[in-house]
Amino acid sequence: MARSMRKRGAFPHTAMRAAEILAPFLLLAAVWQIASYNFPSYLFPSLIDVFVHTIAIFASWSLFAEVLATVGRILAGLVGAFLLGTAIATVMARFRGIDRFLAPILNFFQGIPALSWVVFAIIWFHGTEPRIFFIMTMTALPAFTFQVLDALRGMSNDLVEMVMSFRPTRGKMFRVMILPAILPDILTAWKVNLGNASRVVVVAELVGATGGVGYELLQQQQIFDMAGALAWTLQLVFFVLIMQKIIALIEAYAFRYRAISERSL
């Protein structure tokens, strides 16, 4: 009986939460649709036109392949930056001298605009994919490095000493102690860098690519097709939302013991 009452009480709460999430988007859509009645279509196209363009992208393999190309570039660049940043952060956390040497360089790199990396890549590399991979890696590298470094430094020394007293192997030390301690910060870093990467890849493709979402946005700009530009922009928004949901599922699985602990309290 108590369980059924909790289920009935959970439904209104879920509905209210869904309404709170959807309300701002519905308001924005309503304002945009009203504006489409009072302004030219190249400024504020109808939401129906945007929807038709969006469906057309999904329905055409040649168009959807452009989306997949951009998604692949984002993921390749982020994985490259994460692996390299994790290796650098591990060395910096272990050796203070290397930390003092590399930290100013990473801070310097962090101040370089994405467009500057685009120019450097065009000068240094031949081919679209090496250029975009370089741009994505270099723009995300400092953030990943510092975020992993902070996670490693945030581990409790007392807890590390306690685990070391059991003389674990390196693999077990990493699996039992290090990974659970730094995983929350790593997942947060991925959430932040996903949004940044989706913006950077558009700049890279606008300047140095002959395909992808950024290139398609350039084509829409040249013919003043605002509905098409919004449809292509939504592809990146969908990608980021899907990846955020995947990361949330990973968090829920990896830290399911927290929910168990909260229920026991």
What is the tens place of the pLDDT at every residue in 205-264? Answer: 877 677 888 889 988 888 888 999 999 999 999 999 899 999 888 888 877 766 544 444
Which is higher by pLDDT, 24 or 265?
Answer: 24
Shared domain check, 54 and 10: no
Task: List pLDDT tens digits, range 70-94.
Answer: 999 999 999 999 999 999 999 998 8
Shared domain check, 96 and 33: no
Q: How many domains does the chain have?
A: 2
Q: Which domain holds residue 203?
A: 45-264
d(CA 248, CA 230): 27
Q: Does residue 43 contact residue 182 with C-beta atoms inside 8 Å?
A: no
Q: Does residue 148 contact residue 186 with C-beta atoms inside 8 Å?
A: yes
Query: According to the model, what pLDDT value does residue 2 have?
Result: 47
Task: Work out the pLDDT band at 9, boundaries 50, 70, 90.
Answer: low
Query: Sign of torsion, CA 39 40 43 47?
Result: positive
Shared domain check, 217 and 86: yes
Shared domain check, 115 and 79: yes
Tell the burial category of 113 from Cβ atoms under 10 Å away from its Cβ (0-12, 13-18, 19+).
exposed
Task: Work out the pLDDT band at 3, boundaries 50, 70, 90.
Answer: low
Task: List pLDDT tens digits, range 158-207.
Answer: 666 676 666 767 777 777 777 777 888 888 889 889 988 988 988 888 77
- Which CATH number is 204's domain given? 1.10.3720.10
d(CA 99, CA 92): 4
d(CA 262, CA 30): 41
- Composition of the chain by helix, strand, coil, percent to 5: 85, 0, 15
Q: Does residue 149 contact residue 85 with C-beta atoms inside 8 Å?
A: no
d(CA 238, CA 90): 33
Query: Sign of torsion, CA 51 217 222 29?
Result: positive
Shared domain check, 64 and 192: yes
Task: Work out the pLDDT band at 133, boundaries 50, 70, 90.
Answer: very high
Task: Work out the pLDDT band at 145, boundaries 50, 70, 90.
Answer: very high
Task: List pLDDT tens digits, range 20-35.
Answer: 777 888 888 888 888 8
Shared domain check, 67 and 6: no
Query: According to the model, what pLDDT value does residue 209 have?
Result: 75
Shared domain check, 56 and 13: no
Shared domain check, 1 and 129: no
pLDDT at position 112 over 80: yes
User: In 3D, which of 111, 138, 113 has the Cα closest to residue 124?
Assistant: 138
Q: Which amino acid, one-letter code, is at 43?
A: L
pLDDT at position 151 over 60: yes
Shared domain check, 212 and 122: yes
Shared domain check, 51 and 31: no
Structure-token match 């003389």, residue found: 167
Task: List pLDDT tens digits, range 49-76.
Answer: 999 999 999 998 998 999 999 999 999 9
The CA-CA-CA angle for residues 263, 264, 265, to 5°, reads 90
Query: According to the model, what pLDDT value does residue 23 have?
Result: 82
Shared domain check, 59 and 30: no
If you write DSSP's letter for every residue of 180-210 in order, what string do you get? HHHHHHHHHHHHHHHHHHHHHHHHHHHHH-S
Give every CB contact of residue 11 below 8 A, 6+ residues apart in sequence: none
Shared domain check, 150 and 78: yes
Query: According to the model, what pLDDT value does residue 261 have?
Result: 47
Query: According to the model, what pLDDT value does residue 262 have?
Result: 47
d(CA 199, CA 193): 10
DSSP H stretches of helix in 60-127:
61-94, 96-110, 114-124
Six-digit token pair at 100? 């003092």
Task: Work out the pLDDT band at 142, boundaries 50, 70, 90.
Answer: very high
